[in-house]
Structure 1
Amino acid sequence: MFDSVLVLSEERSLYFGKESEAMAYFESVGFSPSFPVNPADFLLDIANGVCKLDAVSERERPNVKQTLIASYNTLLAPKVKAACMEITIVSAKETRLIGSHSSKEHKESNTVDLSTWFHQFNILLQRSLKERKHESFNILRVFQVITVAILAGLMWWHSDYRDIQDHLGLLFFIFIFWGVLPSFNAIFAFPQERAIFVKERASGMYTLSSYFMARIIGDLPMELILPTVFLIMTYWMAGLKPNLVAFLLTLLVVLGYVLVSQGLGLALGAAIMDAKQASTIVTVTMLAFVLTGGYYVHKVPSCMAWIKYISTTYYGYKLFINVQYGESKKISSMLGCSHHGRSNTVSCKFIDQDIAGQISPELSVAILLLMFVGYRLLAYLALRHIKG
């Protein structure tokens, strides 16, 4: 209570102090009231001509307005201008101090940017794993993969190693299935998250690179488990090359092909940002890749032949064949194609067209690696241009 009284008394003294200064100013310019009055009210009275000074109304005094303006310009204006200059100088000094302080903070922030990036990446990765776990391993998807694996294994149940056409059909079927499924699933990744992504990026919650890397790395374990289960079941049921090294190499080829196909879906989804339109584009693209993959047509028209060189299916299928049959010398001898006069038979021509003289495995691996990086880079660049 005592403190409040002190504050009120201080404010009152300050008010009356300023009031006396104002009245002193009016007296100095020749306008002195006959009794104490509020300076603001006194100024309004002077302007309206209702105040009397020395028994003479202000309306009877000419040039009151000009007198007040001249007095202001002579007495107050220099003081106000000097005060404004002092405020400007102080503000400029404060701005320079703030600028130097912010530059120091910026230099210090550069040293912690990496740790901040990893912190954002870690949080986003954990969120991605939690969300993707339910999406990737839902009952319908697991049922789909297991059912197709069992059907393929039963269709090619312990087929003979010399049934080359049947085995090549199985290999190409595996590539069709694991080319279409990951690419179709991936096109929905960014369009479904667009609203949340734009909102969080606008608020500065994280950088685009941390979000993108968390998404890409978080997808790896989710996308590779089901293909592994599929191949374990199908490979041994169908009687493909009964060799552990061949199985592991085949698994690596399938997993690599899955990641490349997923990258294609991510790129198209990020570029188009409409799930329906992207699904149409990926359907046409995968259809072109499958048709020029080297299984259905061997003599592709020259106007269409260029498609196979950008086809993920073409390089993966050739790698698959190389793992299973090598350079085809053993198969040729088993079928008697190496003997004179038998090289023109249907079976021998099939071996020459599908197995022998294929693109080198090293080149196929290099191109698939390039596609793996290239598709994701395109997706990242597409995300950079997204606007709310």
Structure 2
Amino acid sequence: MEEIQITQLESAAIFKKTNFPVTLKFDNVVYKIKAKTEGMFKSSSKSQEEKIILKGVTGIVFPGEMLAMLGPSGSGKTTLLTGLGGRLSGRLEGTITYNGMPFKNAMKRYTGFVTQDDVLYPHLTVTETLVYTALLRLPKTLSHMDKVAHAEAVISQLGLTKCKDSIIGGPLLRGISGGERKRVSIGQEMLINPSLLFLDEPTSGLDSTTAQKIVSTLWELVNGGRTIVMTIHQPSSRLFYMFHKVLLLSEGNPLYFGRGEDAMSYFSSIGFSPSVAMNPSDFLLDLANGVVDDPQEDQASIKQTLVTAFKTNLLDVVKEELQRYDDSEDHQKIQKGELDRWSNTWWNEAVVLFRRGMKERKHDAFSFLKVAQVLIVSILCAMLWWRSTDIQDQTGLMFFITSFWGFYPLFQAIFTFPPERMMLEKERASGTYRLSSYFMSRIVGDLPMELVLPTIFVIIAYWTTGLKQSPVNFFSTLFTVLYGVLVAQGLGLAIGAMIMDLKSATVLASVTMLSFTLVSGFFVHHVPSFISWLKYISLTQYTFKLLVGSQYEEGEMYHCGVVDATCYVHDFPAIKSVGLGGNAISVVALTIMLVGYRVLAYLVLTRIGVTKK
């Protein structure tokens, strides 16, 4: 234990050098969105009504300060927090700077952002969650042991020791409590010891003791020179007076910005004071809602009075504070190139993501239902086509194999990206890793399941049916099936990435695959010319053609019609429609699809988690 503590102290000393103080300034921030038009007929006018969410919010937070943003639901505090964190796209006006510079991707490494919803992998333990985050987000200058030590230190600091070996859990999976999940989410951001930390409702749903412990931990970070901005809902009096600065919002308008301890005296000076002693945050929220002791007062007029009072009494003071701050020295410090965009190498990211993905999905990769499904279908094929030598039966078997191993991997792949969208958005927005390393680790991580199950299927179905019993024909069939599986998987990845909605993606995949199946030449031998172009992009047709080619050759004969009569295999209708020649073209076409679908999926994913500011 003593050795671990020494390692923690040493790594903390190394890690501390990578941070620098950050001053956050925001001046006259305005955010507008297009108002949604209800009904069937939507206005196409460019002058469509805009809804203003933030109405000119100004403030400054220095290193060593904690800013708490209060306000009722819909006041714009989460929107402002998201904008300050560099994660808000759309019409964001005004000036937001970090040490005098606008937000850049390199800042992600030194910015922590804790969302209100806990986005965590349900099957990982608390320790695994934080260790993998440490391995991904901490700089490459630290060793593997140092990063693990940081994760252990955060676990101890947040009081997660008792549940460190418990899984996170989810809606249908029992795991740690909601409060513990919130602390794990905060711990993920605390791992990087961020210079600037944003938190959206960090105490939501927690008891007062746990909330106090979390804010006390944040207070320790602030005393270490960090800058912290949070939204919070009705903090206790004890928590309220821990905030260095408070920003009160109402319908996007600032009503107060200044020291938390001065808030009550300010509102008292403009004629608003509570009739009885009460929690300051409760009083401020009442004011933001336009609620005062006199029920005769109109809420709208009260809010307008408070907005006007802020502009008259406080706005100039806040503006003056912004102007007094000289950020030229900090600006030069960043300009010297101290900020690198990525914490680790591409290879390290890919390896860690691969290991984490395998840990999270091992329960699902070879689940009993999936294995049983493939075994049952392969056994049914063996019984239905047992030693069958009829060419009609054999082509039917090959087409069934083509269809089954087209649909199965397609629908498995659809579920790759949509369930992970929130996690991908969260981690990409934090600059945790490159999209390419995530994409590659995800593709490689799915290969065992994608290749082992069809291999088992072919081994069972091939040797028990009437297909040619030679190693060359067998491996040719196996190669064709596996290649078709990889192409179908790529199509599923592309559809899942494009749609990101499982129901819609499933419908599109079904229609696409059915279209490919119908034009593949097995059901319809003479496809009309106006729709025949579909067969050239049909992976089913190319796979079926290669499977037929793995069993039959040009000039081969089969028994047909009356007794002892023979016909050419290439004249059999199902085979004639696809032909026995041109297998090389089919391989090239499938190769283009194999690469093309994955490239398409990757390009679509680049939209996710990328700051558009």
**TM-score tier after normalising by the smaller chain length:** 0.5 to 0.7
Summarize deviations over 1:192-217 as a string: whole Å, max 9, x none.
11111111111221111111110011
The AA in structure 2 aligned to 1:122 is V
Q: 1:372 aligns with which of 574, 577, 594?
A: 594
> For residue 482 of structure 2, what is the aligned residue in structure 1?
255
SS at match of 2:468: coil
The alpha-carbon distance between structure 1 residues 317 and 98, as it changes in their structure 2 partners (threshold 3 A), is closer
> For residue 149 of structure 1, what is the aligned residue in structure 2?
378
> For residue 126 of structure 1, what is the aligned residue in structure 2?
355
Q: 2:544 aligns with which of 317, 320, 343?
A: 317
Q: Any conservation in 2 of the 1:186–1:269 contact (CA below 8 Å)?
A: yes
Summarize deviations over 1:170-196 as a string: whole Å, max 9, x none.
000001111011111111111111111
Is 2:460 aligned against 1:233? yes
Tell me whether 225-234 or 296-305 shows the greater mean CA deviation: 296-305
The alpha-carbon distance between structure 1 residues 95 and 280, as it changes in their structure 2 partners (threshold 3 A), is closer
What aligned pairs does 1:284-295 form with structure 2 within 5 A after superposition? 284-295=511-522
Q: How far is the alpha carbon of 1:167 from its aligned partner? A: 0.2
The alpha-carbon distance between structure 1 residues 349 and 202, as it changes in their structure 2 partners (threshold 3 A), is same
Summarize deviations over 1:7-49 as a string: whole Å, max 9, x none.
xxxxxxxxxxxxxxxxxxxxxxxxxxxxxxxxxxxxxxxxxxx
Q: 2:441 aligns with which of 214, 217, 229?
A: 214
The AA in structure 1 aligned to 2:576 is D
Summarize deviations over 1:125-167 as a string: whole Å, max 9, x none.
111222333212111111110000000110000112xx11110
> For residue 331 of structure 1, what is the aligned residue in structure 2?
557
The alpha-carbon distance between structure 1 residues 355 and 159, as it changes in their structure 2 partners (threshold 3 A), is farther
Q: Any conservation in 2 of the 1:246–1:323 contact (CA below 8 Å)?
A: yes
SS at match of 2:467: coil
Q: Any conservation in 1 of the 2:413–2:489 contact (CA below 8 Å)?
A: yes
SS at match of 1:371: helix
Q: Any conservation in 1 of the 2:411–2:509 contact (CA below 8 Å)?
A: yes
Q: How far is the alpha carbon of 1:326 from its aligned partner? A: 2.1
Unaligned stretches of 5+ residues in structure 2: 1-322
The alpha-carbon distance between structure 1 residues 352 and 232, as it changes in their structure 2 partners (threshold 3 A), is closer
What aligned pairs does 1:47-62 form with structure 2 within 5 A after superposition? none
Q: CA RMSD in A?
A: 3.0
Where is the strand percentage greater, Structure 1 or Structure 2?
2
The AA in structure 1 aligned to 2:368 is I
Structure 2 length as normaliser, TM-score? Answer: 0.44
SS at match of 2:572: helix
Q: 2:369 aligns with which of 129, 140, 146?
A: 140
Is 2:409 aligned against 1:173? no
> For residue 418 of structure 2, what is the aligned residue in structure 1?
191
Aligned-residue sequence identity (percent) comes to 48
SS at match of 2:431: coil
Tell me whether 185-194 or 348-357 shows the greater mean CA deviation: 348-357
Matches of 1:310 and 1:235 in 2, distance apart? 28
> For residue 335 of structure 2, what is the aligned residue in structure 1?
99
Q: Any conservation in 2 of the 1:172–1:295 contact (CA below 8 Å)?
A: yes
Is 2:612 aligned against 1:383? no
> For residue 292 of structure 2, what is the aligned residue in structure 1?
none
Summarize deviations over 1:245-278 as a string: whole Å, max 9, x none.
1101110100010010011111001000000000
SS at match of 1:189: coil
Q: How far is the alpha carbon of 1:384 from its aligned partner? A: 0.8
Q: 1:363 aligns with which of 585, 589, 598?
A: 585
Where is the helix percentage greater, Structure 1 or Structure 2?
1
Is 2:509 aligned against 1:282? yes
The AA in structure 1 aligned to 2:335 is G
Q: Any conservation in 2 of the 1:298–1:353 contact (CA below 8 Å)?
A: no
Matches of 2:418 and 2:447 in 1, distance apart? 19
Q: Any conservation in 2 of the 1:121–1:210 contact (CA below 8 Å)?
A: yes
The total of aligned residue pairs comes to 287
Q: Any conservation in 1 of the 2:553–2:580 contact (CA below 8 Å)?
A: no
Q: Any conservation in 1 of the 2:490–2:598 contact (CA below 8 Å)?
A: yes
> For residue 350 of structure 1, what is the aligned residue in structure 2?
572
Matches of 1:274 and 1:336 in 2, distance apart? 52
Structure 1 length as normaliser, TM-score? Answer: 0.68
Matches of 1:356 and 1:295 in 2, distance apart? 8
